[in-house]
Structure 1
């Protein structure tokens, strides 16, 4: 498979993986909405910005892959979007407090913030591959 086709597909999958990773605590347990809301809103921007950039990334990668946007433009926008999403995820991960989540029924929640960062790193990696393949 050609890299200029595989990279946007990987980017789309990475963006959707971010959405699923962010939704996972809500799906696992009910009744923790207010605590999870405080958890996600922590830090200067909160993790909602990462969700926004991930959803926007799906649109940008799709537009480039389907030829609706020039491939070099889509690759450049997706690279900038991915780097910003990763930086915001890192900022959120280091500033989030786990205090609202004491007693959460799943022990993995303490590492959830780092899972979000790891999955978000897929976006700029795929965008870099995409940019390299179209330039």
Structure 2
């Protein structure tokens, strides 16, 4: 059961990452969001989108037994750890009022920490999947 549940949780966690990543674009002006995501020299929004989409496809491939489960588990684990590390770096470095000041929206004041926390679900589910298939 958990051999099939782990990639499902991974798919849901990738979708949650993509949802939280795009949330500021719906609630704040694009210029404010570009300042918000541009606080580190690495484009955290682009890298997280790319890694979440690749992990989403990989988890789906592993769920439907179209690829080697051990390979899928390894790939999603590496992508998830890298995504979580970059997002945590960005959340620590980004000042608390960056998006709130630029967009004058207090509702997004804790977004960066929630977003960083959700990105850790991807490597956690990939590790769970790796433990089940190895």
1:110-129 correspondence to structure 2 within 5 Å: 110-129=109-128
* Structure 2 unaligned regions, length at least 5: none
| Structure-1 residue corresponding to 2:133 | 134
| Structure-1 residue corresponding to 2:89 | 91
User: Cα RMSD (Å) of the superposition?
Assistant: 1.5
* Structure 1 unaligned regions, length at least 5: none
For residue 102 of structure 1, give the secondary structure of its aligned residue in structure 2. helix
Q: Offset at 1:105?
A: 4.7
Q: Structure 1: how far apart are the matches of 2:98 and 2:18?
A: 23
Q: Offset at 1:101?
A: 3.4
Q: Structure 2: how far apart are the matches of 1:4 and 1:112?
A: 32
Aligned length: 132
1:35-114 correspondence to structure 2 within 5 Å: 35-48=32-45, 49-97=47-95, 98-99=97-98, 101-102=100-101, 104-114=103-113
| Structure-1 residue corresponding to 2:9 | 10
Say whether the 8 Å CA contact 1:43–1:95 is kept in structure 2. yes
Instruction: String of CA shifts for 1:42-69, please: whole Å, max 9, x gaps.
Output: 2131322112111111011111111111
- Taking structure 2 as the reference length, the TM-score comes to 0.91
